[in-house]
Amino acid sequence: MKTASHKIISLTGAAAIALLTAVPGQAQDARATAIAIMKRDFHAKGIAGMDRLDQDALQVVCTRSDNKPPKDIAVRLEKDQAESVKYPADGKLMGDWRAGEKIAQSGHGMTWKDKPGKPSGGGCYNCHRIGPKEISYGNVGPSLYRLGKTRGDGPEMQKYVYTKIYDSKATTLCSAMPRFGHSGALTEAQIKDLVALLLDPRSPVNQ
């Protein structure tokens, strides 16, 4: 019997092949050249290995379609990603918002000089407005200020935010947001703390 991961690989692989054959040869050549240059100039060091240049099948689907895959493929693959999200065994999706703010502020981790197993930060302010006192933040992603105040902090919203942080492609297939849980960049506890930062009524984000 196929496992869920085998199913996902099979589906994304088939979608990638279909899209690959639809991409003009000139575009394929340009992508191949770009990848060859990256592999030539990127050198493995520390925990940053050459495997970081490899796309998984789902990422291939997005790049081959310029982030606009056919709707039926997108819906199907988002469902597969959603089914692969690992939720906390204790059923609790919110942690400590104070710890969440520290994670959101931190951009450390996952570099060649970091040690294996060292906790990483989320770097959330690089792309989002979140806390009211932070004056430096990115606008690549939507503002998350007062998210809990405007959309609530109930079970469904907690699950949505946890899912979005764990694997953004479970809700938007070609999202530019990192797949923090899927990739192992953030731990379960860290994701819980970020959910609390965004939704807990006591968090300054929701004041």
> By CB neighbour count within 10 A (0-12 exposed, 13-18 middle, 19+ buried), where does 140 fall?
exposed
Q: What is the pLDDT of residues 124-176, one digit of tens each?
A: 999 999 999 999 999 999 999 999 999 999 999 999 999 999 999 999 999 99
Per-residue pLDDT, 141: 96
Give 50-97 as a DSSP string. Answer: GGGGPPPHHHHHHHHTTT---HHHHHHHHHHHHHT----TT------H
Give residue 10's identity as a one-letter amino acid code.
S
Q: 97-206 domain in CATH 1.25.10.10? A: no
Q: What is the pLDDT of residues 119-133, one digit of tens each?
A: 899 999 999 999 999
Q: What is the pLDDT of residues 2-41, one digit of tens each?
A: 444 444 545 565 665 565 555 556 667 777 888 889 889 9
Range(s) within the chain of domains with CATH label 1.10.760.10: 97-206
Mean pLDDT, range 95-100, rounded to an integer: 98
Mean pLDDT, range 81-85, rounded to an integer: 96
* Range list of H helices, 84-154: 97-105, 147-151
Name the nearest CA neighbour of 111 among 18, 174, 49.
49
Per-residue pLDDT, 26: 65
